[in-house]
Structure 1
Amino acid sequence: MKRRNVITIFALLVIVLTSACTKRFADINKNPYDFDEDELTADYRLLGEPLSQALLNLLIYNDPPTAQLQQNLNADIFSGYMMSPTPFEGNINNTNYGLLYYWNNKPWLIAYSNVMKNCDFTQMKSKDSYSDFYAWAQIIKVEAMHRVSDIYGPIIYTKYGKLNDEMGIDYDDQKTAYYAFFDDLREAIDTLTRYVNNNSLSKFTAFDLVYRGDYRQWVKFANTLRLRLAIRISGIDKPKAKAEGEAALKHPFGLLMEPEDNFAVNITPVTHPLNIMCYTWADLRMSAPMESILTGYEDPRLSSYFLPTEAGTYIYHGIRNGIKISAKEEYSGFSSLTRLSSNILFMTAAEAWFLKAEAALLGWENAGIPKEDYERGIRSSFKQYNLPNIGSYLVNSTSKPNPYVDPQNQDNNVKPGDPNLSTITIAWDESDTPERKLERIITQKWIAMFPEGQEAWSEFRRTGYPKLFPVVINNSNNTISTNKFIRRLPMPQIEEITNPKALERARKMLNGPDTGGTPLWWDIR
Structure 2
Amino acid sequence: MNKQHKYLLYITTATILTSGCTKNFEDYNKNPYGASNDDLLPDYGLVVGQLKEAERSIYVYQPAWVTQLQQNLMGDVFGGYMMSPTPFRGNSNNMNYDLVDGWNLYALNPAYSSPEASVMAPLANVESITKTPAPDLYAMAKILKVEAMHRVSDIFGPIMYSKYKVRAEDGGYDYDSQQDAYSNFFKDLNEAITILTPLRTQKPTPTFVNADLVYKGDYGKWLQFANSLRLRLALRIVKADAAKAKTEGEAALANAGGLLSKADDNFSIDIGATVHPLNTISGAWGDIRMGAPMESILKGYNDPRLPKYFIPAVDSAVLHQFKGIRNGIDIDAKTRYQGYSALVDLPSKLQLMTAAEAWFLKAEAATRGWANAGTAKDDYESGITTSFTQYGLNASTYINDAVSTPAEYIDPKAITAGQNDIKTGSQWLSTITIKWNDADAFETKLERIITQKWICVFPDGQEAWSEFRRTGYPKLFPVVINNSAGKISTTVFVRRINIPPDEYLTNPKGVERAIKTLKGPDNGGTRLWWDVQ
TM tier, smaller: over 0.9
Is 1:486 paired with 2:494?
Answer: yes
AA matched with 1:397: A
* Residue pairs, 1:419-498, within 5 angstroms: 419-498=427-506
* Cα distance in 2 between the residues matched to 1:138 and 1:86: 39
User: 1:346 aligns to what SS in structure 2?
Assistant: strand
Q: 2:406 touches 2:429 (CA, 8 Å); kept in 1?
A: yes
Q: Which residue, 173, 187, 193 being the options, matches 1:189? A: 193
1:8 is matched with none
1:363 is matched with 369
* Cα distance in 1 between the residues matched to 2:509 and 2:37: 37
* Residue pairs, 1:72-471, within 5 angstroms: 72-113=72-113, 114-164=118-168, 166-196=170-200, 199=203, 201-310=205-314, 311=316, 314-388=320-394, 390-409=395-414, 411-413=418-420, 414-471=422-479
AA matched with 1:375: E
Which whole-Å deviations, capped at 9, do the CAs of 1:71-106 have from their partners, x for residues lacking one? 011000000000000000000000000111111111
* Cα distance in 2 between the residues matched to 1:375 and 1:142: 29
Q: 1:393 to 1:454 in 2, by over 3 A?
A: same
More off after superposition, 128-137 vs 108-117: 128-137
Cα distance, 1:216 vs structure 2: 1.1
Q: 1:490 touches 1:515 (CA, 8 Å); kept in 2?
A: yes
Q: 1:80 to 1:268 in 2, by over 3 A?
A: same
Identity of aligned residues (%): 53
* Cα distance in 2 between the residues matched to 1:197 and 1:30: 33
Q: 1:335 to 1:197 in 2, by over 3 A?
A: closer
Q: 1:515 to 1:45 in 2, by over 3 A?
A: same
Q: What is the total number of aligned residue pairs between the two structures? A: 501
Q: 1:259 touches 1:383 (CA, 8 Å); kept in 2?
A: yes
Give the unaligned 5+ runs of structure 1.
1-20
1:14 is matched with none
AA matched with 1:90: G
Q: 1:220 touches 1:254 (CA, 8 Å); kept in 2?
A: yes
Cα distance, 1:167 vs structure 2: 3.8
Cα distance, 1:28 vs structure 2: 3.9
Q: Which residue, 498, 501, 516 being the options, matches 2:524? A: 516
User: 2:352 aligns to what SS in structure 1?
Assistant: strand
Which whole-Å deviations, capped at 9, do the CAs of 1:201-222 have from their partners, x for residues lacking one? 3532112110111111111100
* Cα distance in 2 between the residues matched to 1:412 and 1:230: 37
* Cα distance in 2 between the residues matched to 1:508 and 1:94: 25
Q: 1:457 to 1:256 in 2, by over 3 A?
A: same
Which whole-Å deviations, capped at 9, do the CAs of 1:336-385 have from their partners, x for residues lacking one? 00000000100000000000000001100000111110000000000000
* Cα distance in 2 between the residues matched to 1:465 and 1:138: 30
Q: 1:488 touches 1:519 (CA, 8 Å); kept in 2?
A: yes
2:45 is matched with 45
2:30 is matched with 27
Q: 1:25 touches 1:121 (CA, 8 Å); kept in 2?
A: no
More off after superposition, 187-196 vs 445-454: 187-196
Give the TM-score, by structure 2 length: 0.91
1:7 is matched with none
* Cα distance in 2 between the residues matched to 1:73 and 1:223: 30
Q: 1:264 touches 1:344 (CA, 8 Å); kept in 2?
A: yes
Q: 2:31 touches 2:125 (CA, 8 Å); kept in 1?
A: no
User: 1:344 aligns to what SS in structure 2?
Assistant: strand
* Cα distance in 2 between the residues matched to 1:76 and 1:22: 30
AA matched with 1:421: L
Give the unaligned 5+ runs of structure 2.
1-23
Cα distance, 1:27 vs structure 2: 3.4
* Cα distance in 1 between the residues matched to 2:418 and 2:182: 42
Q: 1:497 to 1:407 in 2, by over 3 A?
A: same
Cα distance, 1:23 vs structure 2: 7.5
Cα distance, 1:194 vs structure 2: 2.8
* Cα distance in 2 between the residues matched to 1:482 and 1:521: 21
Which whole-Å deviations, capped at 9, do the CAs of 1:462-494 have from their partners, x for residues lacking one? 000000000000000000000000000001222
